[in-house]
A and B are shown apart, each in its own frame.
Chain A
Amino acid sequence: MAVSRMKKNHTAYLFVLPALLGCLLFTVYPVGYVIYLSLLSWDLISPDKIFVGLDNYKNLLTSPEFQRVLLNSFTYMVVTVAISISVALLLAVWLNKRTKLHSFVQTSIFTPHIISLVSVAMLWMWIMDPEYGLLNYILSWLGGPRLLWLDSPDTALLSVMIVGIWKVIGYNVLILVAGLQSIPSYIYESAKLDMANKLTTFFKITIPLLSPTLFFLFIVNVTSSFQVFDSVRVMTQGGPVNSTNVLVHWIYQTGFEFYRIGEAATGSVFLFIIVALATFANFKLLASKVHYQ
């Protein structure tokens, strides 16, 4: 039965073969290979690959440095996702009108999204420069304290998060405005006739009807913020004193600066598990709250 169906469909299988091969070669094989590497102790150059079993996993989980890296990653994720989505939502509600000013503002907010993160990071390094930077200039003009920004362990992660938020917010606004425009105007007219005030309308009508869009953004933002790398690489290299070292940057450092391939691969497996778990949890916890039309 199964074989005959195989035969019957063999032309179809032939058609999907190229895509399947690509998937095997570029997704399944690398994942398998990373898991294999995570069981080794290897320095990338020496021919000896020593099999160490789960030692890498044990070592990492007990290493204060790696715990710090995980904490940084989580902090970065929680703060950037919370702020970028909520601020984007407010902006989107305000921008959901068709005047010249609104489209100008929307375009301006979206622009960071299309600039390479490396250029953005360079720009912000100048803005955050403690001596000549624009931010400190504004702060002192307002009578506030001058901050060290990227140079202090206390503010470095915050600085990197500001850049991350600034970069992603335009994209979020764009998607949310599209979501808002898909809510028909007569629903709002109904709400007006139902004596709903602005706040009630926002929480009882707009948010629920926007929930598929919000859910999509949430998943995308959580995933991408766990994978942040460029800005950290360019602005801080994980410093000062590991205060901005996030998972992907740590993997890069461990693998290609310290040549501890086994540990780096283990970190990658952790990242894979975390992102998978986060996505799974999102679907489990939020999917029931999402209303699809």
Chain B
Amino acid sequence: MAKIQFKDVTKVYDKKNKVIEHLNLEIENGSFTVLVGPSGCGKTTALRMLAGLEEVSAGRIFIGDEDVTVKEPGDREIAMVFQNYAIYPHMTIRENIDFGLKNAKVPKETREQIVKEVITLVGLEGYEEVKPSKLSGGQRQRVALARAISKKPKVFLMDEPLSNLDAKLRNQMRTELIQLHHKLKSTFIYVTHDQIEAMTMGDKIVIMNQGEIHQAGSPREIYNDPRNIFVAQFIGDPGMNGIKLTSGYTFGFRPRKVTFQKSGEFNGIEFKGIVLTREILGSEVLYCLDTAFGKIMLKTNDETHQSDDQVMLYVEKSDLYFFDREENRIYDKEQIETLYKEVVSA
């Protein structure tokens, strides 16, 4: 278990291609931290630098109090689970797990015991002498997990470990990973492009875009209090509706916060809309509507409306978010009041 620090870390490829610039990040000991962002945002690069698989162009990385910036990957007391599992195809499951322990010169008896333990932990008993090609994707991912656990690392690094699994298995593994984190109490760092995974698994989320951290905080904090339009629209399923005003400012509201009916003490904006599409997601329904503000999304439990229906839409004033011309959130009350007037008149 250890706290992790990125201090002013920069990564440049081929001397000109800056992927990460001045990254400063502290990851708490024992946390389940998720780095999330669109592809190419630098999250995987950050993780790989931490693992030692990628050189750091500038800055330092610390695990605990130790500067690991130039340490070999094998000496960092970390374990990594890759998106494509990266288990050795020519070794049996037992050999796959044993390989790292053997290289670490763990005595044979201890090794046998650890292998047995972790295989039981991930539920692969009976598969010890089987080659990976005989296993399903989910089972292979378990082998990768078992291998990681066997090392008893200070830090677990996971690079999109669930994205090659089908949706059902992904949900199941998600729960199992959370349980695993509770059990092991090590620091988990998890990279994903999937905001649902980030929201459901992480106790801290770090949102990245174009090599920069946009916001870091708990899932709830980030959902309720996004600092900029990028975060507001990236988090949430779907993301926040954003509408640009003629003044260049933007206002937004969550799809869950638009309603077809006015509440008793309604204080907010109302506008007409035409139903373009309706997606039934099970208990919830997602509508796409054409309005004077452009296309907006609405999520509700009410499935009575059909395509081409004309509807009235309502959003409470307290559910509106305002952003300045640099797309950053506005907190100033007076400014919000002025902008609200602009919205109402629009």
Contacts and interface: CB of A to CB of B under 8 A. Distances in A.
Interface of A: 184, 186-187, 189-197, 200, 204-205, 208-209, 211, 291, 293
Contacts of B133: 293
Nearest to A293: B89
Given A200-B103, A204-B99, A194 B74 contact: yes
A194 B53 contact: no
Interface string B82-100: 1010111110000000011
Contacts of B53: 189, 192-193
A193 B78 contact: yes
Given A192-B74, A194-B99, 11 more contacts: A184-B84, A186-B86, A189-B73, A190-B86, A191-B99, A193-B53, A193-B79, A194-B74, A194-B103, A195-B75, A204-B99
Nearest to A207: B90
A291 B89 contact: yes
A212 B73 CA distance: 30
Nearest to A208: B90
B51 interface: yes
Interface string B142-166: 0000010000000000000000000
Nearest to B78: A193
Contacts of A187: 86, 88-89
Contacts of B90: 208-209, 211, 291
A195 B89 contact: no
B80 interface: yes
A249 B86 CA distance: 50
Interface residues of B, number: 23
B104 interface: yes
Contacts of B72: 192
Contacts of B89: 187, 209, 291, 293
Quick one: which of B75, B89, B147 has the most chain A CB within 10 A? B89
Closest 5 CB pairs of A and B: A195-B74, A194-B100, A291-B90, A195-B103, A186-B86
A190 B87 CA distance: 7
Contacts of B99: 191, 194, 196, 204
Contacts of B75: 195
B88 A193 contact: no
Contacts of A209: 89-90
Contacts of B147: 194
A195 B86 contact: no
A195 B90 CA distance: 18
B84 A193 contact: no
A191 B89 CA distance: 12
Contacts of A211: 90
Nearest to B103: A195
Contacts of B74: 192-196
A160 B144 CA distance: 51
A182 to B, nearest CB: 12
Nearest to A192: B73
Interface in B118-147: 133, 147
Contacts of A204: 99
A274 to B, nearest CB: 32
A187 B147 CA distance: 13
Interface string B46-62: 00000111000000000
Interface in B244-302: none
A184 B90 CA distance: 13
B260 to A, nearest CB: 50
B235 to A, nearest CB: 29
Contacts of B79: 193
10 contacts: A184-B86, A187-B86, A192-B53, A192-B72, A192-B74, A193-B100, A194-B147, A195-B75, A195-B104, A196-B99
Contacts of A195: 74-75, 100, 103-104
A280 B78 CA distance: 47
Nearest to B104: A195
Contacts of B104: 195
Quick one: which of A190, A204, A291, A293 has the most chain B CB within 10 A? A190
A195 B86 CA distance: 15
Contacts of A189: 51, 53, 73, 80, 82, 86
A196 B99 CA distance: 8
A96 B115 CA distance: 34
B56 to A, nearest CB: 16
